[in-house]
Chains A and B, each alone.
Chain A
Amino acid sequence: MDSAASAARPATGLAIEARGLNLWYGKFQALRDVNLQIRRGIVTALIGPSGCGKSTFLRSCNRINERLGYVSTTGTIQVLGHDIYGPDVSPIQVRRQIGMVFQRPNPLPLSIRDNILFGMRIHREEALHRAEADAIVEKSLREVLLWDRVKDRLSKKATTLSLEEQQKLCIARLLPLRPEVLLMDEPCSALDPEATRAVEDLIWDLRGNYSILIVTHNMAQARRASDECVFMLLGRVIEHSRTEDMFVTPQKTETADYIEGRFG
């Protein structure tokens, strides 16, 4: 089913499309009439000062916000052309097919191998065959350039890895579920500069095969590691353009002010 679906997906088009999205945490409105079109196969960076709603938007795209229990939403988000807030949609399937990477690397307190297989194990009835499992582990770890570093210690606890390796593992464990879209919430903010560079490079490598939406506080990172950039302020989208355009010729004064560090 998975492979048929991915074959049928068009090569171009939109990964995520938000229309008239409003979101409240209790009485506080965190998103105001957000309209966004995130293109497929590229890296889109969400930037803006703290509290501008960029993480909230990201967390709406796989409906993980709902776990908080006091969130209400109006408007729609379509992912790959399907309304993820539609009446028949299962949030579990949404989360399964849209990967998420968090600010602090959060590998599960299991072995490296079990972390990679975790997603598959919770989503299928029958047990994984040993050989099949081994192949999946190797493929996923190779894709995030971790295989050669950890192949001899797959049964070690994932929490013993370095932060950089942990974050790469967190990306790798999404891959067996064949996500089309990856959401990343400041994936490098807990890492040192060298590890940041390594994870950034990885994200850049994954682009093309995956549509990546990444929230970042780091202007330099947005500039060097994204194709398009979205600037948000106070729950609204202020500007959305190609990254080089935004940093060279921002259209709005707020964008220019933020990029040049006058607030934020």
Chain B
Amino acid sequence: MSAQDSTFLKTEHEEKSLRQQKLVRMFLMFMTAMLVLPVLGILSVIVARGAPGMSLEFLTEPPRANMTAGGISFALIGTVWLTAVALLLALPLGVSAAIYLSEYARDNWLTRLINIAIVNLAGVPSIVHALFGVGAFVHFLHFGKSILAASCTLAVMTLPVVIVATRESLQAVPQPFREACWSLGATRWQTIWRVVLPNSGSGILTGVILCVSRAVGETAPIMFTGAVLYAPFSPEGVFDQSMALSTHLYNVSTQIPNVPPGLPFSVALTLIGVVLAMNATAITFRMRLRGRKKW
């Protein structure tokens, strides 16, 4: 056989390798497609069963008839309170810590300890956070069962997300910008304030979104610390107790008798809607900010 003929022709071994590679590709594609199924399943069931019960009245009216009828306004307002206060607490703390860790801290045992603590904090189950919240905020700090105690618990729980997202977006600002500032005699803070922060806004915002959407949906941490089965009014301050969407969903699904079957799905739809709406807002903001960024 002359080398001329077969130089660039397929060999049998190659055919086999190609078949194998096609198979693997299809398998991987199939597994990836499987990912979409649960999302579609959850969404379609909730929309199909929850949508008929949705109306403006459902969102704006308080519950009636032992929560088997009426709307969910108190729960919706309560969730907004809980999330907003949690964010007000977690954001300054988390962003400050991230700035310190990313821009000031040297790599020593203390920094490593702090980093390990953050990773572990993120891994703590939410029910444990709930118990911690009861001990630390409700009893020890005498906040009582209140929005403040519940929001503190949520804040502790979402802190790692805020810190990690902020730190990563700070570290994404190219080092040459910092060097340029330092070589002009800028202090670290001047560098951070004038150059680093303005260019990491979009990443910090992502952290905020993640924090918010996690806080909105959490149930366990607020159940023991500030959320109630039923409150006949919407909260007026951080020391009030309040209803919340997530606990309300739990209650109408499992705790309260004679709830019409569609009601829990309508509550779930509202909850998902709130999270998606927040994510969408934040993603829009983020794309705007990123569009301005060029280097």
> Which residues in A have some Cβ–Cβ distance to B below 8 Å?
62, 64, 67, 69, 92-97, 99-100, 102, 104, 106-110, 118-119, 121-123, 157, 159-160, 170, 173-174, 177
Contacts and interface: CB of A to CB of B under 8 A. Distances in A.
Contacts of B195: 108-110
A100 B183 CA distance: 6
Contacts of B190: 122
Contacts of A107: 180
Contacts of B176: 102, 104, 106
Contacts of B295: 109, 159
B185 A109 contact: no
Given A94-B185, A102-B183, 16 more contacts: A67-B179, A67-B182, A92-B187, A102-B179, A104-B176, A106-B176, A108-B177, A108-B180, A108-B195, A109-B177, A109-B198, A109-B295, A118-B194, A122-B181, A122-B185, A122-B187
11 contacts: A69-B106, A94-B185, A95-B182, A95-B183, A95-B184, A108-B177, A108-B180, A109-B295, A110-B195, A118-B184, A170-B180
B171 to A, nearest CB: 16
A76 B91 CA distance: 46
A160 B293 CA distance: 11
A45 to B, nearest CB: 20
A118 B195 CA distance: 10
Range for the number of chain B residues in contact with chain A: 20 to 34
Chief secondary structure at chain A's binding surface = helix
A249 to B, nearest CB: 37
Contact of A122 (B106, B177, B186, B199): B186
Nearest to A69: B106
Contact of B293 (A92, A109, A170): A109
Contacts of B179: 64, 67, 102, 106
Contacts of A104: 176
Contacts of A160: 294
B184 A122 contact: yes
Given A102-B176, A118-B194, A122-B190, A109 B182 contact: no
Nearest to A107: B180
Interface in B277-295: 293-295
A69 B106 CA distance: 8
A159 B194 contact: no
B36 to A, nearest CB: 38
Given A109-B177, A109-B293, A64 B184 contact: no
Nearest to B199: A109
A72 to B, nearest CB: 15
A174 B190 CA distance: 17
Nearest to B190: A122
Contact of B294 (A96, A99, A106, A109): A109
A62 B183 contact: yes
A108 B175 CA distance: 11
Contacts of A108: 177, 180-181, 195
Contacts of B293: 109
B110 to A, nearest CB: 14
Nearest to A119: B184
Interface string B163-200: 00000000000001101111111110010001100110
Contacts of B184: 95-96, 118-119, 122, 173-174, 177
A107 B186 CA distance: 15
A64 B199 contact: no
Nearest to B293: A109
A107 B177 CA distance: 7
Given A104-B176, A106-B176, A108-B180, A119 B185 contact: yes
B295 to A, nearest CB: 5
Nearest to B180: A106
Nearest to A159: B295
A217 to B, nearest CB: 19
A107 B180 CA distance: 7
